[in-house]
Amino acid sequence: MGHLNETIAEFHEALRLDPANTQAKRLLSQAYQRTGDTKNATKFAEASTTETPATAAGDLLGDFFVPQWQVPLEGAGK
């Protein structure tokens, strides 16, 4: 969880420097989803949908591929 908190802080810094950074909004949404904070996940997902995605297939967060901006919740499917 500590790494996710650091990641969230980095994305917020990226948005402070460039408020129109769609990639940061999308990845911030994914990071919040992984922490279980659906309110902020939804907020940043909605903010990112008004702009063109970086790729048609998805985004890279950490070391795994995330299709269509969906992040598996930890413990899901167990």
At residue 32, φ and ψ (nearest 5 deg) are -65, -40
Is 28 in contact with 46 (CB distance < 8 Å)?
A: no
pTM given for the model? 0.62
Q: Which residues are CB-neighbours of 29 under 8 A, at least 6 positions away?
A: 40, 41, 42, 43, 44, 45, 48, 69
Tokens, residue 49:
């949908």
Q: What is the mean pLDDT of residues 6-10?
A: 92
Q: What is the pLDDT of residues 19-43, one digit of tens each?
A: 989 999 999 999 999 999 999 999 9
- pLDDT-derived band at 67, boundaries 50, 70, 90: very low
Q: What is the pLDDT of residues 52-66, one digit of tens each?
A: 554 434 445 444 444
Q: Which domains does the chain have, with CATH numbers?
A: 2-67 (1.25.40.10)
